[in-house]
Structure 1
Amino acid sequence: MATEVASFDQLIEPFRSELLAYCYRMLGSAHDAEDLVQDTYLRAWRARDQYDESRSSLRTWLYRIATNACLTALEVRGRRPLPSGLVPPSDPRGPLVHGETPWLQPLPDSLLGSGDPARAAVDRSSLRLALAAALQHLSARQRGALILRDLLSFSAAEAAEVLDTTVASVNSSLQRARSRVKEAGVLQDRSREPSAAEQRAWVDRYMRAFERADIEGLKRLLTEDVLMEMPPMINWFVGRGNYGVFMEWVFDKAGTDWRLEPLAANGQAGFAAYRRTGDGYELHTVQVFTVTTEGISRNSVFQDTEVFASFGLATRLDD
């Protein structure tokens, strides 16, 4: 029995990273995605005798199991938007308002594994937070059709098998999904996307300005239409001037003594921000940036213990 388990695990383990990315796109939560992948592997083990390689590939079979697990989960879980997709923009001078909505979470790049053979199968640019948020406004089956066809390049027939439906139904869902995502304005423009190293360099410069509490230095790194949002607060705003006003408030209320630790999520550069409290630094936020050739165009700021845990971050740093 132990030998059989080990052999089966070796067969399906290379798909773990791409299944995690798939479940994340479907659920919008790193924590839920990890649970769903574990559930998928358990279901696959129990159904291993039913797999017929003459009818479908192992990859397609695993995606069908993962999709069923995701669709079941979505029956009891709500959508996970970001504030910018839910309410109008705010005045940066106004009070912060806490929202009770389950928010979209970032996906730590570290969860995709640096040495996993399937890592190359995960296009990290297709995990961008703005696109992940747009997917949350689709129905579950529209979401599945778009991810399978446009992000994972499954054929219409394969997607129909995974979703347990017809090719006509897949094509109809895909057409509606593409229209909704296009309306959201998040279709990727690779011409405005710097390399990963250049994106990291932009964010490193932002970190240095942040540590100096240099608001003008921060603003010089931003695009004119930069967007900042910060779940679980529903407040969000647009524009370099509004951004500067809000950062003045941050440094006034939270102080100017910070320690920042670089990280990456959703194929984007970011950092964990720790603010001075007593004789050390307390974890305050995780910030993930969208960078274009013109500068930083979006800062998604998360203040959630579940998000902190997904990155494995220390809650406090010594002085």
Structure 2
Amino acid sequence: MSTATIDDAFRDQVEPLRREITAHCYRMLGSVHEAEDLVQETYLRAWRAFDSFEGRSSVRTWLYRIATNACLTALEQSQRRPLPTGLGQPNSSPVGELESRPELPWLEPLPDSLVWGEPDVDPAEQAVTSDNIRLAFVAALQLLTPKQRAVLILRDVLAWRASEVAKALEISEAAVNSALQRARAQVAEHAPERPELPDDDRSRQLLDRYLAAFHDYNVDRIVELLTEDAVWEMPPFTGWFRGHKDIRHLMTAQCPAKGPGDMRLLPTSANGQPAFGAYHRGPDGVYRAFQLQQLSIGPDGIDHVACYFDLTLFAKFGLPEALAEE
């Protein structure tokens, strides 16, 4: 078989899997930046080995095996990626200086466009679902050892048999079952299954009100849209805040926005959840990237907001660095 023929056959069989392999690497690593790098590494390894692929498993299974082991190799040199709530400290007081730790590798959001592409694609036809990439689930995965993480994903997300996982990871089936039991207990504790979400119309109305409240920078109206025990966290700041009183105090005391027109939001989506690029108006009237907000909506309203101050994420989401004056 000629090199050109091999290249064409390789491309035809593996390219349709790129989006779900991206989601897989993201679950393992907790970083969209690292996930994209590992997808490239996976495809390079697969291309080099493709002419010797004997078809004893599906191409999909073969590619996932390569991706998993590439991620495990990368994780040998990496720290886990938490959110502030995953650091093991109690919720913070909004009074006083905020501690920033930009040197820590923080959990990052995953743009929906990388795993679902065009918005009119039927989610039912996708290998990636919003539940298996939701932020709380991926955050809980980061509490596991890399091997436990791989076992849980391969068994519970991809529905592999224990024997398949054992072969891919080169461990015994007993070791697979033991790791799976421990991993399931950890994830159940830190990312319990979500209750039924409000219907699309209710969610859309809630998000419209949230966007309008931020444009007016009306802190009371923003906080009213949150549940009573909502959590607000802001990596790389290590503190996290719970409940209306503390979140209201935090926004009033710490945010540079003070009144109508100081902030603008552009809608996007991450991990199957609504998100906004937030822009703050400078003295020159230009709105510059400020933070990326990711919202979790439960039956009673917005129950979690993660605000990421890593401005390199804006490019990953296709968001501009600045907006013109209104």
66-75 or 154-163: bigger deviation: 154-163
Q: Find the counterpart in structure 2 of residue 84 from structure 1.
A: 85
Unaligned runs of 5+ in 1: none
1:14 pairs, out of 13, 16, 34, with 16
Aligned residue number for residue 265 of structure 1: 270
Q: Deviations over 1:48-74 (max 9, x none)?
A: 123221x21211111110011001100
Counterpart AA for 2:68: T
CA distance 1:255–1:2, change in 2 (3 Å) = farther
8 A Cα contact 1:60 1:162, kept in partner: no
Q: 1:221 to 1:211 in 2, by over 3 A?
A: same
Alpha carbons of 1:107 and 1:195: their partners in 2 closer, same or farther (altered >3 Å)?
Answer: farther
Map of 2:31 onto structure 1: 29
Please name the residue that 2:317 is paired with. 311
* CA offsets 1:18-57 (integer angstroms, 9 cap, x no match): 111010000000010011111111100101123221x212
Q: Residues of 2 paired with 1:306 and 1:226: CA distance?
A: 27
Aligned counterpart, 1:301:
307
How many aligned positions are there?
315
Separation of aligned partners in 1, 2:219 and 2:311:
28
Quick one: percent identity of the two aligned structures?
Answer: 48
| Shift in CA distance, 250/210, structure 1 to aligned 2, threshold 3 Å | farther
Contact 1:31/1:306 (<8 A) preserved: no
- Per-residue CA deviations over 1:135-169 (Å, capped at 9, x if unaligned) read 10100010011111112222222222332222221
Q: How does 1:19-98 map to 2 (within 5 A)?
A: 19-53=21-55, 55-86=56-87, 87-98=89-100
**Alignment partner, residue 139 of structure 1:** 145
**Counterparts of 1:199 and 1:289, CA distance in 2:** 11
Within 1, Cα distance between the matches of 2:154 and 2:225?
A: 36
Distance 1:148-1:292 versus aligned 2 partners, 3 A rule: same
1:108 to 107, 111, 127: 111
1:165 paired to 2:171: yes
| Larger RCO (CA within 8 A; separation ≥ 6) | 1
- 1:194 correspondence with 2:198: yes
- Say whether the 8 Å CA contact 2:116–2:126 is kept in structure 1: no
Counting only pairs closer than 5 Å after superposition, residues 105-254 of structure 1 correspond to structure 2 as 105-114=108-117, 120-184=126-190, 186-191=191-196, 193-195=197-199, 198-251=202-255, 253-254=256-257
Greater alpha carbon shift after TM alignment, 305-314 vs 123-132: 305-314
Deviation at 1:117, TM superposition (A): 9.3
Question: What amino acid is aligned across from residue 208 of structure 1 in structure 2?
Answer: A
**Distance in 2, Cα, partners of 1:200 & 1:23:** 30
Would the alpha carbon gap of residues 200 and 37 (structure 1) be closer, same or farther in structure 2, given more than 3 Å must change? farther
Amino acid corresponding to residue 11 of structure 2 in structure 1? D
Counterpart of 1:130, as a letter, is: A
Letter in 2 for 1:209: A
Q: Equivalent residue for 1:255?
A: 258
**What TM-score, normalized to structure 2?**
0.92
C-alpha separation in 1, matches of 2:199 and 2:36: 28
- Say what the alpha-carbon RMSD is for the aligned residues: 1.8
The two structures have a TM-score, normalised by structure 1, of 0.93
In 2, Cα distance between the equivalents of 1:146 and 1:198? 34
Instruction: Tell me the distance in 1 between the aligned counterparts of 2:17 and 2:317.
Output: 21
- Residues 203 and 270 in structure 1, CA contact (< 8 A), matched pair in contact too: no
Asked if structure 2 preserves the Cα contact closer than 8 Å seen for 1:224 and 1:240, the reply is yes
Q: Quick one: structure 1 residues 275 and 39, their matched pair in 2 at CA, closer, same or farther if it must change by over 3 Å? A: same
Distance 2:201 2:159 in 1: 27
Distance, in Å, in 1 between the alignment partners of 2:57 and 2:209 is 49
Change (3 A) 1:14 1:234: same
